[in-house]
Structures are given as structure tokens and as C-alpha cells.
Amino acid sequence: MRVHDTFRVPQKTSIFRAAICKTPNAKPVGLREVGWLGRLYSEPQKFKTKERVTTMKTTTNLLLLGAWLLLSQQGAVAEPLFETKDVFIAGLDNVCEYRIPTLVTTGQGTLIAICDARVEKPGDAINNIDLAMKRSLDNGRTWGRMQIIADFSGQNAACDASVLVDDKTDTVWVLYDYIVDEPAQFVQRPRETRNVELHLIQSHDDGQSWSPPRTILPTNQAGSWLALCAAPGRGIQTSDSQLIFPCYTRREKHDHSHLLTSGDGGDTWQLTSDAGPKVNECQVVELLDGSFILNMRSLRGHGCRAVARTEDAGENWQQMVDDSGLPEPMCQASFIRYTDQRAGFGKNRLLFSNPANASQRSNFIIRMSYDEGQTWPVSKVLNTGPSAYSCLTVLKDGTIGVLYENGVSNPYEKLTFVRFNLEWLTEGRDRLVQGN
């Protein structure tokens, strides 16, 4: 997708207005109507002859026309856009707590937001947890009623969802953990005694209805792991149409991050080798050269994200490294591609969001990279207060959306959707125009 932006000019100060291209929430700019500035400098003030008046009007309008053409060709800066809307609030719709946001934009431009609905009490499974969903048809300004898309009896849980869209079939896939109401047998790690299955559901109508769940067992299941878990957030569809969900395995001593891949449209799934130990909730991006970079929640005790790269779709991984430029308090993060030179943009841009505090879940930040995740020169604080899990998406109009956990006294009071543009994120230093 290529995004064409023009600059947005307030109505009172517009020079020309017409429709040569469309900008979200902006008046189109063009050549059909002369605004107040053109009239002001073309009025016959202090001129005695008709010829001098005509000459002045013509000269002024030509200068204004030339200035507008120069600005439009250079892609003049749009106004910063920033909108916010609380989507899931603890206590509403008879749900005690909402957590673990997931967000995606469908091929029709619909926003689908999914999260854990922790019905009776806060806290992870074992607990009565359903998957709740809301849809927005207007770029997140309003949201439809809440729907439950996965629900099991008693204290059985559907949780920790990851979502992707198959652009070839318009199928929306959701992978999640089904955790049964009985402890697993392994007790070497006291907190991780849950019995987990991976479930997969799909929608063919933009999230209006969903299939029954099916259990996912990788065809190459051999290994010493004790449980295979979804990494909450986003999956991807690669340039060669593979479907990929990030995931992780629980083992006797540590967690390990992997990829779960399908080359046949979701019929069968294979588990890649792991990127290393002491990492779990992860997100994946395909780089320009076709390699994958895995950005992982780190349990290595260094107060920052861990990253690893594979050039053969997860068969082998380069050595995992700590990214000190991405501080974290051991928390999930979101990591997606924004623009891609292969799609006609002049720049590659990656986006990242997390609570950027090494000691506590607060100080929620959006970051952007121009060099495929090697450095993060752009950053902007969205919320200095309590904040935690998040999920980013790119809207059909080229703006950016994020759904994130936040609150006043703790991060788990609500899930808020924020929509912003590149001009807001970069304070006008970068913008989306043709070929950029």
C-alpha cells in the first residue's frame, strides 16, 4: 500500500481548496477555489487604472499558484493527529478486569480489538477468562458492542491472543492459549504449573462471526518442552504468503521463543527452532532482505529487550543480543512494520511500543526505526503513568493505532486506543508522501 498525503490547511487560511487527493480528517487541497488570502491581495485597492488592477491580480494569483504547487510537490506537512478512546474499562459489561490487548486492521479497514475478559477476579489463569472483541468501522472513533468469541465453562481460560490477517483470503486468524482448570504435573517452576493447549479460530466476514476452535499441534512436535504458548500481540503474513505466529515453549528450567509457521494457508503448522533461553513473549517482523527479526521479552535480568535474527525462516538463529536502546521491566511489547521500500515507500520504518522503564510498568513510549531495528532515533512518550501490554496496527489511511493497558493507580484499569500520524510522532520531521 502506498499512502499519498497532502498538507492540511485550516479553512480560514486556505489558499486553494479542491479534491486532488484525500487526507484523513482534512479538507482536500487543489485548484478550484481561491481562498481569502488570494482575494485579499487581488482586490483593487489604491489602483487607479483597470489595467494595473488586472496585472496585480494576475501576478498575485500566479505567485500563490506557484507556491502551492511547490509545497504540494514537496509533500508539505500535515497537522499532527492525535485521538484517544477508552475501549475496555474494568468493571463494565460484568467483567472484573480486561487485559492483554490485541489489535489488527482488516483488508476492509475494520479495526478488530481482542483482549482477555477476566470475568470474576483479576489475575492470570487458572481463572475464568474469556476472549472479548470489539470492532470499529471509523478508524477507532467509535466501537461496537462487546462480543465474546471464546468462552469455556468454569475456571477454564481462553487468553493471551495473537491475531493476523491473511491478505490473500481476507481471513482473520486468532491464536490463543486454552488453559484448563487443573494443574499440570510438572512442578519444577511453581508459578508455571498450568496445562496449556493452543487453539486457533478464524473469521471470514471481518470479525462478525468466528469458527469453532481447533487445537493446534505442530507437525514437528518432537522436543523436550512442556507447554507451547501463544505470544500475545500480532502475527504476520510474509512476502511469500507464509503465516507466522510468534510463540514460546515452557521447559523445565526456562522459557524459549519460537515461530509457529504455516505454508499452506493455516491447514498445518510447524514449530521453528528456538532463539534461545530465558525469553518468552515475542513479536516478529520480516526485514527487507527476507530475514526475520524476533523481539523478545527478556528474563535475562538486563532490563532491556532481547533480539535475534534468522536468515532461514527459523531453522537457525544468530546469537541473541540485548538491545539496551529498548529498556523494559520484563513485559510484553508490540513490534510491527510501518512502511516498506518493497511497497513503494522511500523509507523503511518499524514501530515499537512498550513501558520503557527497567524497574516498573510505566512510561509508555512509541518508537520508530529507519534501519530495520538497529537503532531507534524517534521516540515519543504516550503516557508517563502506569502502563503495560500493547498492540500496534497501521490503519488503512496510513495513520497508526495502538491499544494499550493503562490506569491511574495500576496499569490494568482500562485498555485505551490511540490513533496518531507520522507528523505527531516525529513532530513534523517526517511525513508520508508519494515515494517516501
Domains, the chain, in order of start with CATH, read 11-74 (no CATH), 82-426 (2.120.10.10)
Q: pLDDT by residue (tens digit) across 137-190?
A: 999 999 999 999 999 999 999 999 999 999 999 999 999 999 998 876 655 655
Choose the weakest-confidence range: 54-58, 158-162, 340-344, 417-421: 54-58
Q: Angle at CA 380, nearest 5°, toward 103 and 347?
A: 75
Q: How far apart are CA 135 and CA 100, in angstroms?
A: 16
Both ends of the chain: CA-CA distance in Å? 12
Q: How far apart are CA 185 and CA 187, in angstroms?
A: 6
Cell of 140: 477507532
Q: Which residues pair with 321 in a beta bridge?
A: 307
* 327-350 average pLDDT score: 95
Within 8 A by CB and 6+ apart from 409, the residues are 386
Q: Which residues pair with 162 in a beta bridge?
A: 175, 233
pLDDT over threshold 70, residue 249:
yes
Within 8 A by CB and 6+ apart from 426, the residues are 368, 378
Identify which has the larger pLDDT, 159 or 32: 159
Identify which has the larger pLDDT, 99 or 343: 99
Catalytically active residues are 281
Spatial CA neighbour of 197 closest among 215, 175, 214: 215
User: What pLDDT score does 222 carry?
Assistant: 53
User: What pLDDT score does 12 carry?
Assistant: 32
Spatial CA neighbour of 126 closest among 191, 217, 201: 191
* 211-229 average pLDDT score: 85
Q: pLDDT by residue (tens digit) across 93-125?
A: 999 999 999 999 999 999 999 999 999 999 999
Choose the weakest-confidence range: 78-92, 208-222, 409-423: 208-222
In single-letter form, the type of residue at position 41 comes to: Y
